[in-house]
C-alpha cells in the first residue's frame, strides 16, 4: 500500500505544523508520509522540540521549511493548515490536487509571560494537536 502524503502548513513552521508533522509521523507513519512547511519559516522553536521529546517523539529530523519547497509537487493527498493566516493566505493553486483541511490552533510562540507559562502553552497546544491527529482517519 502506497503511503499518502500529508503537508501541514502554518505561517512560521516553528511550532504547530512541526508538532503535527512529528505526531502524525509517530502515530501513523506506516500510513502517511508527513511533511510541514511555513509561509514565512522562522526556525523550529526550542519549546517545540522540548514538548515533543516529553512524549518520546523523535525530533532529530526537524527543520523549518518554506512552502516553496513543495510548490511543484502534485502527489500530496492532504494539505492541512493549522493557523488562520496560512488558511487565508495559501493560494488555492498550491498543491491543487490535495484535499484541503483546516485545523486551527493558537500559536504558542506568541504567548507573553514567564518561561513556565510559555512552556505550558506549548504543552497545551501539543496535546490539542495530538487529540486531533489521533481522531483523524481515512
Q: Which of 37, 90, 125, 133 is catalytic?
A: 90
Verify whether residue 90 is a known catalytic residue: yes
How far from chain centre, in Å, is Cα 137?
17
Q: Which of 83, 119, 125, 129 is catalytic?
A: 83
Q: DSSP 3-state assignment of 28? A: helix
* Residue among 7, 9, 10, 129 flagged as catalytic: 10
- To the nearest 10 degrees (0 to 180), the angle between helices 16-28 and 115-135 is 40
Q: List the alpha helices (DSSP H) in the chain.
A: 16-28, 46-53, 84-89, 115-135
- What is the bridge-based pairing of β-strands 4-10 and 32-38? parallel
Task: For residues 136 and 138, give the distance between their C-alpha atoms in angstroms, rounded to a whole number.
Answer: 7
Contact 14, 44 (CB under 8 A): yes
Can 83 be counted among the known catalytic residues?
yes
Give catalytic residues, as residue numbers.
10, 83, 90
Amino acid at each position: 500500500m502506497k503511503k499518502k502524503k500529508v503537508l501541514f502548513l502554518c505561517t512560521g513552521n516553528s511550532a504547530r505544523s512541526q508538532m503535527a508533522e512529528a505526531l502524525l509521523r509517530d502515530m501513523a507513519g506506516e500510513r502517511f508520509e508527513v511533511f510541514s512547511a511555513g509561509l514565512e519559516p522562522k526556525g523550529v522553536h526550542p519549546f517545540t522540540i522540548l514538548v515533543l521529546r516529553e512524549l518520546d517523539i523523535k525530533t532529530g529530523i526537524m527543520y523549518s521549511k518554506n512552502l516553496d519547497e513543495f510548490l511543484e509537487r502534485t502527489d500530496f493527498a492532504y494539505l492541512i493548515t493549522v493557523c488562520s493566516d496560512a488558511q487565508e493566505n495559501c493560494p488555492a493553486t498550491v498543491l491543487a490536487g490535495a484535499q484541503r483541511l483546516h485545523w486551527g490552533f493558537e500559536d504558542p510562540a506568541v504567548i507573553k509571560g514567564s518561561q513556565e507559562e510559555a512552556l505550558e502553552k506549548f504543552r497545551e497546544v501539543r496535546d490539542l494537536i495530538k487529540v486531533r491527529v489521533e481522531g483523524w482517519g481515512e
